[in-house]
Amino acid sequence: MKRVLVTGGAGFIGSHLVDRLLQLGETEVVVLDNFDEFYDPAIKRRNLETHKSNKHLVLINGDIRDPTAYPGQVDGVDTIFHLAARAGVRPSLEAPELYESVNVAGTLSMLELARRIGVERFIFGSSSSVYGPTAAPPFQETAALAPISPYAATKAAGELLLHTYSHLYGIQAIALRFFTAYGPRQRPDLAIHKFARLIDKGKPIPVFGNGSTLRDYTYVDDIVTGILASADYDASRFEIINLGESRTVRLDYVITLLEEALGKKASIETLPAHAGDMPSTHADISKAETLLGYAPATPIETGIKAFVEWMRANSY
């Protein structure tokens, strides 16, 4: 039986990945999560609730920065899906040292763990934010990086560490640049979830700027499909690959879709544009299509409806 480690496995993308890995069978899934209070830890625990009696799930409450705190519990792992991170562009401006500690030092600790226990494959969850505002859309993986937030800079640093360890120790390594993932279990601080909850309660939604920002919104099921495909890729030692939907959508259109799905009109509180925010993201997914057979299947119109159905069913 295969044994894999998912860091951040109780979080948004991580828990969906755990679902799929356990559905595949014949895989023991070790989840490492510290259940920090960036948002309610009870939400993350609920994400794994359906698997609590699954004999193929091992849950470690621990910190990626200190693998010595759980000696032996990750032995035998052949693949690491490293999704744990301190997330959020705007909060990173308030606590850059914390972001460096978790996202850079934490990634280094996981790579050192991989080296020590002989992990064959390391999949790293990176971010479209590494491109910065100077990249020409659609963003190609070869574009020069110009991160404009501490969060984005830590993700770029993680990619460099991944390349170094792949080169030095022969680890099969892939950095996946996620483009604005959304869907069921999305963090409550992210725009789609936050806006949906506020609109549903009849409260104003805070919009930074005039609603013209563009994002390549990618449904979580498509992201997870890409992650799983990357774990089977072995034609080269190291790759950086975009996982997006390849379509840019204005924020005000997303608000319209939420209004339609909720059956309620949004009250908008307009705020100044935020310095750390990208004005636009747009993924070139041709590399993912060629190397991974990646084909996103959920347009934003369908994904928003599915998210709202989940939110209302889960008392958010």
Which residues are known to be catalytic? 151
Measured between alpha carbons, how far is 61 from 307 in angstroms, rounded to an integer? 28
Tokens of 91: 């909060």
| Mutual angle of helices 220-230 and 12-24, in 10-degree steps | 60
CB 230 within 8 A of CB 123: yes
Measured between alpha carbons, how far is 278 from 111 in angstroms, rounded to an integer? 29
CB 262 within 8 A of CB 118: no
- Return the amino acid letter for 49: E
The residues pairing with 269 across neighbouring beta strands, listed in sequence order, are: 206
Sign of CA dihedral 205, 148, 247, 220: negative
CB 177 within 8 A of CB 127: yes
CA dihedral of residues 175, 153, 195, 296 (deg, nearest 10): -20
Residue carrying the six token digits 């690491």:
80
